Chain A
Amino acid sequence: MEKMSRVTTALGGNALTGRTMHCHLDAPANAISVCRDAAQVVVAGRSIFKIFAIEEEQFVEKLNLRVGRKPSLNLSCADVVWHQMDENLLATAATNGVVVTWNLGRPSRNKQDQLFTEHKRTVNKVCFHPTEAHVLLSGSQDGFMKCFDLRRKDSVSTFSGQSESVRDVQFSIRDYFTFASTFENGNVQLWDIRRPDRCERMFTAHNGPVFCCDWHPEDRGWLATGGRDKMVKVWDMTTHRAKEMHCVQTIASVARVKWRPECRHHLATCSMMVDHNIYVWDVRRPFVPAAMFEEHRDVTTGIAWRHPHDPSFLLSGSKDSTLCQHLFRDASQPVERANPEGLCYGLFGDLAFAAKESLVAAESGRKPYTGDRRHPIFFKRKLDPAEPFSGLASSALNVFEIEPGGGSMNWFVDTAERYALAGRPLAELCDHNAKVARELGRNQVAQTWTMLRIIYCSPGLVPSANLNHSVGKGSSCGLPLMNSFNLKDMAPGLGSETRLDRSKGDTRSDTVLLDSSATLITNEDNEETEGSDVPTDYLLGDVEGEEDELYPLDPEHAHPEEPEYVLPQEAFPLRHEIVDTPSGPEHLQDKADSPHVSGNEADAASLVPVDSSFSLLSISHALYDSRLPPDFFSVLVCDMLRFYAEQGDVQMAVSVLIVLGERVRKDIDEQTQEHWYTSYIDLLQRFRLWNVSNEVVKLSTSQAVSCLNQASTTLHVNCSHCKRPMSTRGWVCDRCHRCASMCAVCHHVVKGLFVWCQGCSHGGHLQHIMKWLEGSSHCPAGCGHLCEYS
């Protein structure tokens, strides 16, 4: 529908009409050029050279300029250009180095006019002077540019670029005598046509060949260049030094660039390789093309705006042997499809949210949480008032900060730093980690470590104090209740525990929402749930109730009855956590001290409330004989790990995974493990815990993770004297032959770890600097800077 729509533009009397259309050529095109009346287009290629009339509905072949029986390389065109003053005059550049002019006014069938065979190599580009009728410029692979006067038989002047091949030449539209040329080595030169001896100005524009350039039709000094380095750059040439105004990064090397008429900041580009589309960019918005034409099936080789004052018609030729007319209004607009919203969590739970300004403005009216303890901060992008432009997107950024103190992640950092993951026997690792967790007040975690130790280590080694301690403190929400004879039921038991905790999490968030205080549920929130402070009140009541009921129960009965324990406040079935622990003998003594100890010690399982509300379980000695192999628990442990991971405590999951190693690894699929590892490493790196993160990478058994610190291990350094890269060695510069990294303390070359002050950039051996700064706060080099070492 839309594609068929016709556009009529009134342009000073003569109207341009047409639609998006294409016609098939017999051979791939290399270049196209439009007649100044905008009604004809010439297409040239290796084996095609034709003129088409652009009619309203179709292209009509008007003339085939490839005449003669024998194929000649003179007709194998690399470029073609139509004179903008004289509609009978054309010029082509041949791949064999010949420049040919064509006069359509000739009566004979062969329109060939003149032949210049002065270039030794392929001619890449020809260009007519915009106002002068007889001046033609050519640029060739041999590194020369030649200026021809069509009234004479050979060139008027030759310009030597003194470097590699010339890729493009363009006369300035405004300055009569100036032309620009681009080179294979990345340079752009500016020449005065009257001075062939040397160029007026030269600068390096791109890394690698500069394939094309185009002068801005209105702005006097603006030159757009496109290169193999996938960039389009816009230069301001009016200043003393060419200044880069804009830079557009495309996805493939840029073969052609053409400013869009009547749109000051628009330009069209096409690529030489891989990418077949034509893009129209707004140079001020370099990341998303303003429009995109996707008609071609092979690389586009030539583009031309149909009329110098009409921005809506674009013509293109391609290697897929088609000639197309594109209508700007039919172009696909990637901006429309882009998702302009962005959302990101900060390290400490802050949330930043960017969206289109209009969208946010509409939303903010009914934002429910404004003025709450989480403060939205509002940023607005400043628009340049000098250049009002509707197409540019403006967006608003909201930042939600978490309440100070509420989202502290200190526990995470501490845990990460203090955990021991390898290098000691499993039992010690578990004990150590349990201790760490307990000291940070994370009792459930501590207990988990203890339990792991019990499962996987021989029982006789359990240190009593440790066990007592952890179990004694218990965990507020866990309500450990154990029946060692009902091991079969453990798995479901734990499952329900998971559910319990999750639903508690939900409850928590509900609560928060009811408070209308939080929009975020972050790790910390979940962590709080696990911690001891939040839901204590109602849980305590529950626990006490249980104790009364549970106490007289035989272990055999304990289990079946569990479903009956219902938390009325929460309206969901609450099952007690079942903890698998054959506990140490000392425990019994502990129990003996407890006032609540009942007489059923012989039953091997009992519930012991310690102090106020904690329940606790113990098992008699007898159990050790019927001890189950650790393999039996692996399913359970895996469930536990998944539980932690789901809770957001991926730290625990990964730590346990590393500590237990082979014992559980096989039971968790690779992908999940990898996912945990990468999440944890990501978190660690965000907290800048590089050492820990590296240790984790090193200890991981997952292929994809352990290769993380194998890749990109090269560090590039520059010499501190001459600022050149030091390619061969890290400490001696090849160019200035000086030792670049001297220790300011011992004045020797530093070959290992080099630490330096970011303020005065003096530094040296890590050890030396550390020692120095213990005694003095001034820079050891004597520069007077007060260095800081942290």
Chain B
Amino acid sequence: MLKSEDWKGKTLIVMAEGENEVRWDGLCSRDSSTRESALETIRQIVLRKTECLRSVKETTCRPSDELSNAVSLDELNKLLAHLLMLSKRCPFKDVREKSEFILKNVQELGIRIPRPLGHGPSRYIPEKEILQVGSEDAQMHALFADSFAALGRLDNITLVMVFHPQYLESFLKTQHYLLQMDGPLPLHYRHYIGIMAAARHQCSYLVNLHVNDFLHVGGDPKWLNGLENAPQKLQNLGELNKVLAHRPWLITKEHIERLLKAEEHSWSLAELVHAVVLLTHYHSLASFTFGCGISPEIHCDGGHTFRPPSVSNYCICDITNGNHTVDEMQVSSAGNISVSDSVFEVEALMEKMRQLQECRDEEEASQEEMASRFEIEKRESMFVFSSDDDEGTPARDISRHFEDTSYGYKDFSRHGMHVPTFRVQDYCWEDHGYSLVNRLYPDVGQLIDEKFHIAYNLTYNTMAMHKDVDTSMLRRAIWNYIHCMFGIRYDDYDYGEINQLLDRSFKVYIKTVVCTPEKVTKRMYDSFWRQFKHSEKVHVNLLLIEARMQAELLYALRAITRYMT
């Protein structure tokens, strides 16, 4: 008895040491031998912990040990969840296999191992449509390896965006620069700003990711209890975050001035531009997360379960997110009434595009007509809203990151507030925004500019089942429609085109994704463009988020410019 006690004490000490040894960064190396040794260390730690837990279980222990047991079990489970993620999502085959092997080992020792919840990275897109890790081609593999090396994970957003590798490359490069490269803000500030921005849209996915990152770069866990625990400087940013997320047209140079002239808590211009870029980036990324129904990461809460699979082979969560019914629904919707319907939709859309192309010169709308079309579209966009108005109360842990939850886009639309018109010809990204960003935060202007260009010009000349289609008109309509919702007007655009090309269900989707992303439902996602491929819907989402980011940036940068002149 005494002997075993003794032994236990020893292992506990070993464990405590082992705690500090769990390092995942070795796995991000591109050198396979480094990865192998890192994995080996991890394996030993995991097995040691498992052993220890087992022995504790066997030797009936005193209640005082219960607590420490629970703690160590919790730690082990975290490790196992991370290993599970690696076994599924690591771009390196050796790591995937080895992690799975470790998990099996652990299972054989009688410890319950986790399994992923849900099916695949997106709740809206069937897993089989999405590229499997391991089956990517060389270019994508390079992208994955990059992403993994930078972040130590391959997140679901990346896996969905990889439908469009050209864009993904630019996206990852920009994000990496914003979060990890030289910049005026300290690393933990950057992640915290990301959390603030994502929390504005109650995007628990992004918040969870960045809480981990925030702690990883040495952020103070106290800040996570709410914005009021963060430094005054970050608290001051809250107001800008709020306005930028929901009503960017209200940003004035006074907002900027308040941030820049707050004595010891004041921001420098460079810091402010960095923060603004981060805020807009994460606002639009939240849109993407909801717009494509990104599932929680495997290693985060809600991404895995330790429960054994139920008889029916999927658990409650799968039912609620509707993932299990994907196949059936497709069969039913594609098989019956709607198939002719939706095919007709595509045909009609193409016909309209053709007509617009040809008839453009014939009937020339008068100037007033053009002006009023913009106003009509703008006004209408405010009333385009999904009928289901379920008030989703934000999860507690997220709401604490921002105050004033009631402040949202909808407030103003209900009251029909007037949105002043912002003319692109007077302040545009290419001429003005770019110069300002690049001046204050070098290189980022270039990166964002590239990203905008790729998103705007991306096309495969296909539409659903049709090939060789010039989609530029459709893309421009989507882009300008989003800007129109933010009151941004292009003098040289006939807003009548929007009405012709975008049907109501599509407008509802766009509007919801851009303005109140947290309210997007699978039904909305399914009900627009029914015959289009998932990759095309993701493409639409890319357009949405980039257009939104540009709109927010334009307003914020214009305010900064006004402050500077």
Contacts from A to B (Cβ < 8 Å): 46, 70-74, 76, 78, 94-97, 117, 119-122, 141, 184, 208-209, 211, 228, 252-253, 272-274, 276, 297-299, 711-712, 714, 728-729, 734, 751
Could you say which of A94, A272, A714, A729 contacts B435, with CB atoms under 8 Å apart?
A: A272
Nearest residue in B to A45 (C-beta to C-beta)?
Answer: B426
| Interface-facing stretch out of B197-205, B342-350, B366-374 | B366-374
Q: Which residues of B contact A211 (CB under 8 A)?
A: 431
18 chain-A/chain-B pairs, Cβ below 8 angstroms:
A73-B367, A73-B491, A76-B491, A94-B491, A95-B423, A96-B492, A120-B360, A122-B492, A208-B449, A209-B431, A228-B431, A252-B435, A273-B432, A274-B435, A274-B436, A274-B561, A274-B564, A751-B31
Q: Is B258 among interface residues, defined by CB-CB distance under 8 A? A: no
Chain B 25-58, CB-CB to A under 8 Å as 1, else 0, gives 0000011000000000000000000000000000
Q: Which residues of A contact B435 (CB under 8 A)?
A: 228, 252-253, 272-274
CB proximity of A786 to chain B, nearest CB, Å: 34
CA distance A71 to B491 in the complex (A): 13
A-B pair count, CB < 8 Å, reads: 76
Q: Is B425 among interface residues, defined by CB-CB distance under 8 A? A: yes
CA distance A208 to B361 in the complex (A): 32
Q: If A117-B364, A209-B430 touch, does A252 touch B439 (CB 8 Å cutoff)? A: yes
CB proximity of B562 to chain A, nearest CB, Å: 10
Q: Which residues of B contact A728 (CB under 8 A)?
A: 142, 145-146
Q: Is B565 among interface residues, defined by CB-CB distance under 8 A? A: yes
CA distance A96 to B489 in the complex (A): 11
Contact of A298 with B565 in the complex, beta carbons under 8 Å: yes
Q: Which residues of B contact A95 (CB under 8 A)?
A: 423, 425, 491-492
CB proximity of B561 to chain A, nearest CB, Å: 7
Q: Is B94 among interface residues, defined by CB-CB distance under 8 A? A: no
Contact of A228 with B423 in the complex, beta carbons under 8 Å: no
Contact of B492 with A141 in the complex, beta carbons under 8 Å: yes
Q: Is B434 among interface residues, defined by CB-CB distance under 8 A? A: yes
Could you say which of B423, B426, B439 contacts A274, with CB atoms under 8 Å apart?
A: B439
Contact of B367 with A72 in the complex, beta carbons under 8 Å: yes
Q: Which residues of A contact B439 (CB under 8 A)?
A: 252, 273-274
CA distance A221 to B168 in the complex (A): 44
Q: Is B182 among interface residues, defined by CB-CB distance under 8 A? A: yes
Contact of B425 with A76 in the complex, beta carbons under 8 Å: yes
Contact of B432 with A97 in the complex, beta carbons under 8 Å: no
CB proximity of A559 to chain B, nearest CB, Å: 48
Known: A76-B491, A122-B491. 8 other contacts (CB 8 A): A228-B435, A252-B435, A273-B561, A274-B435, A274-B439, A298-B565, A711-B182, A729-B30
CA distance A496 to B480 in the complex (A): 78
The residue among B30, B360, B435, B565 with the most chain A CB atoms within 10 A of its own CB is B435
CA distance A78 to B367 in the complex (A): 17
CB proximity of B252 to chain A, nearest CB, Å: 17
Contacts from B to A (Cβ < 8 Å): 30-31, 142, 145-146, 181-182, 360-361, 364, 367-368, 370-371, 423, 425-426, 430-432, 434-436, 439, 446, 449, 491-492, 561, 564-565
CA distance A72 to B492 in the complex (A): 12
Contact of B368 with A70 in the complex, beta carbons under 8 Å: yes
CA distance A122 to B492 in the complex (A): 6
A-B complex: 6 closest residue pairs judged by Cβ atoms: A95-B491, A273-B435, A95-B425, A72-B367, A122-B492, A96-B491
CA distance A72 to B432 in the complex (A): 25
Contact of A734 with B432 in the complex, beta carbons under 8 Å: no
Contact of B367 with A297 in the complex, beta carbons under 8 Å: no
Nearest residue in A to B564 (C-beta to C-beta)?
Answer: A274
Q: If A46-B426, A272-B431, A297-B565 touch, does A734 touch B491 (CB 8 Å cutoff)? A: no
CB proximity of A206 to chain B, nearest CB, Å: 13
CA distance A141 to B446 in the complex (A): 20
Q: If A76-B491, A96-B370 touch, does A272 touch B146 (CB 8 Å cutoff)? A: no
Contact of B142 with A78 in the complex, beta carbons under 8 Å: no
The residue among A71, A74, A95, A714 with the most chain B CB atoms within 10 A of its own CB is A95
CB proximity of B447 to chain A, nearest CB, Å: 13
CA distance A24 to B361 in the complex (A): 39
Contact of B430 with A184 in the complex, beta carbons under 8 Å: yes
Q: Which residues of A contact B181 (CB under 8 A)?
A: 714
Contact of A122 with B425 in the complex, beta carbons under 8 Å: yes
Could you say which of A76, A122, A712 contacts B182, with CB atoms under 8 Å apart?
A: A712
Contact of B431 with A78 in the complex, beta carbons under 8 Å: no
Nearest residue in A to B34 (C-beta to C-beta)?
Answer: A751
Nearest residue in B to A255 (C-beta to C-beta)?
Answer: B431
CB proximity of B422 to chain A, nearest CB, Å: 13
CA distance A97 to B364 in the complex (A): 13
Nearest residue in A to B145 (C-beta to C-beta)?
Answer: A728
Nearest residue in B to A729 (C-beta to C-beta)?
Answer: B30
CA distance A623 to B176 in the complex (A): 63
Contact of B492 with A228 in the complex, beta carbons under 8 Å: no
CA distance A728 to B147 in the complex (A): 10
Nearest residue in B to A273 (C-beta to C-beta)?
Answer: B435
CB proximity of B565 to chain A, nearest CB, Å: 5
CA distance A208 to B434 in the complex (A): 10
Contact of B431 with A253 in the complex, beta carbons under 8 Å: yes
CA distance A541 to B20 in the complex (A): 66
Q: Which residues of A contact B182 (CB under 8 A)?
A: 711-712
Nearest residue in A to B364 (C-beta to C-beta)?
Answer: A117
Q: If A72-B367, A95-B491, A729-B30 touch, does A273 touch B425 (CB 8 Å cutoff)? A: no
Q: Which residues of B contact A729 (CB under 8 A)?
A: 30
Q: Which residues of A contact B449 (CB under 8 A)?
A: 208
Contact of A78 with B425 in the complex, beta carbons under 8 Å: yes
CA distance A451 to B435 in the complex (A): 59
Q: Which residues of A contact B364 (CB under 8 A)?
A: 117
CB proximity of A130 to chain B, nearest CB, Å: 27
Q: Which residues of B contact A121 (CB under 8 A)?
A: 492
